[in-house]
Every structure is written in C-alpha cells, then in structure tokens.
Amino acid sequence: MTAVRYYCPRCGAIAALDREGNLADKCVTPEPLDGWEYAAPYDDFESADGVEIVCGAAETDGEGCGEPYYLSFVKFEDGEEVDPADRAFVPPRVDGPTIDDPAEDDGPDDSDGPRFDFEP
C-alpha cells in the first residue's frame, strides 16, 4: 500500500488514502461522474469506480470544508476507456507563496546575475 494525497477541489485541503499502486486515477471532481460508483475511503474501494472523500474527515486530519468530493479511477467497458460526458473539473484554490514575474519587476536590473561585491 502507498499513501497517495489528493487536494479538495473546493478548499485545497489535502486528503491521504492508502491504496494499491496499480489503480489509475482519472480525475478529482466536486461532483460524482455519471455512471461511476463510489466507495467510502475506509471500504474496499479497489473494486469500485472511485472514492467519495469527505473533506475534513479522518483522511484530511480534520482540516477542510466538510463537503464531499470524488476521486474517479480510469474505467474500461468492452476494452475501451470510458470518458464521461460531464466532467467539470475545478482546480484547487490554494493560497500560498507565488513566483513573481521578473518582467514586471520595477527594481534594479539584475540581469547579469547575483552580485557578491559587498563587505560584511
């Protein structure tokens, strides 16, 4: 078993699931995919089409928004991968540090690299 982490698509809280490495993730969505059957994280979800995770439950160490979201595995029918018609993905909103665009920097021109000509 491997601990795999997933972000809540609503609040960005992280959930960790212990699972087999042979399961292929398709997507994480705020709503279930049509035609997928979901199991709870504490059930035997390896035979299900995905996992219903409740943000803020034990998988997220109590942190989160309390809303359910859905981890969907790749699903095959008649040897072909099933692609649901309705797959609205909402990327997680995570507040944190950002990388500034150097083109927008109004500071001194450091284009020739760092300078080490200072005296302590």
Q: What is the pLDDT along the chain (120 residues), one digit of tens a residue?
A: 788 889 999 998 999 888 887 778 888 999 999 889 999 998 888 889 999 999 998 887 778 899 999 999 998 888 888 877 654 554 555 565 555 555 555 555 555 555 555 455
Q: Are 32 and 44 in contact (CB under 8 A)?
A: no
Give the max Cα distance, the chain: 72
Tokens of 90: 């909402």
